[in-house]
A and B are shown apart, each in its own frame.
Chain A
Amino acid sequence: MKNNIRVERAIKNITQEELAKKTGVSRQTINAIELNKYIPSTVLALKIAVVFNKKVEEIFLLEKKD
């Protein structure tokens, strides 16, 4: 699974720290998700989508290998 959180953050102009605060997780977690080192839980994915005011599938995308 890949995601475009980094792009969305750039569009909204918010830092990892701010996104982390808004979703109630640590900055490490946001960083790990952006680096594709961690797949967030459904709850967290939904929270992130709410922050960007988009649908989950617009931010998180399945890859061929999934």
Chain B
Amino acid sequence: MNTTRYLFPHQCKKIGWIIFLISLVLVVVSFFIDTSNSTWFDWKIFIGYDGGFFQDQPKILKWGIENVYPTLIGILLIAGATLAGFSKEKNEDEFIAKLRLESLLWAVYINYGLLILCFLFIYGITFLSVMEFNMFTVLIIFLIRFNFLLFRNSKSLINEK
């Protein structure tokens, strides 16, 4: 039975984890180093829209220098987590597909539950950080839950014949 529609091939799983780990390293680095001042990541790229600061003219649909560190983190994190979570398992079947979908549902609940708490208790400019994290938390919570379920199920096998 085809339970594997919309999934990436199994080989993508490992690639996904590698990309995901790289992006996490970049996130950790950004906690310790102010990457917005580093010229390493000022690349000439095509800009869709950059509103600039109050005095600047916005840049619209033109080439220009931008700091791409957040761009890299965002793209790598999403690509990595998506591949890691939505690639076929080695022995993909209907039960694993069910675990995956249930984990996704679970992640959406937890994510928005946490977001409601943040709405209730966090105010001012700090809320921007909440929004920043919240862009990725659904995927991350999903990954944790799904892999936990896979681990728990493989563990319950040990006692069986």
Chain A interface residues (CB < 8 Å from chain B):
15-16, 24-29, 31-33, 35, 38, 40-41, 43-44
Cβ–Cβ contact B93 & A15, under 8 A: no
Is B98 a contact partner of A38 (Cβ separation < 8 A)? yes
Instruction: For A25, give its contact among B94, B156, B157 (CB under 8 Å).
Output: B94
**Alpha-carbon gap, A27 to B94, bound state (A):** 12
* Most interface-central of A24, A27, A28 (chain B CB within 10 A): A28
| Distance of A26 Cα from B161 Cα, bound (Å) | 14
The residue on B at minimum CB distance from A10 is: B161
Which A residues touch B96, using CB under 8 A? 26, 28-29
B94 and A28 within 8 A (CB): no
Residues of A within 8 A of B156 (CB): 31, 35
Taking A25-B93, A26-B96, A40-B95 as known contacts, 4 extra A-B pairs with beta carbons closer than 8 A to each other, sorted by chain A number, are A25-B91, A26-B95, A38-B95, A38-B98
The SS class assigned to the B binding surface is: loop
B38: Cβ under 8 A from any A Cβ: no
- Tell me the minimal C-beta distance from B144 to chain A in angstroms: 19
Report B49-103 residues with CB < 8 Å from chain A CB.
89, 91-96, 98
Q: Are B160 and A40 closer than 8 Å at their CB atoms?
A: no
B157 contacts across to A, CB distance below 8 A: 16, 27-28, 31
Q: Which residue of chain A has its CB nearest to the CB of B157?
A: A31
* Distance between Cα atoms of A57 and B18 in the complex (Å): 46
Residues of A within 8 A of B89 (CB): 26
Q: How far is the CA of A40 from the CA of B153 in the complex (A)?
A: 16
Q: Which residues of B contact A26 (CB under 8 A)?
A: 89, 91-93, 95-96
Q: A26-B93, A28-B154, A44-B1 are in contact. Are A16 and B160 (CB under 8 A)?
A: yes
Tell me the smallest distance from the CB of B101 to a CB of chain A, in Å: 13
Q: Offer 19 A-B interface pairs, CB within 8 angstroms, sorted by A.
A: A15-B161, A16-B160, A24-B93, A26-B91, A26-B92, A26-B95, A26-B96, A27-B91, A27-B157, A28-B91, A29-B94, A29-B96, A31-B153, A35-B156, A38-B95, A38-B98, A40-B94, A41-B94, A43-B1
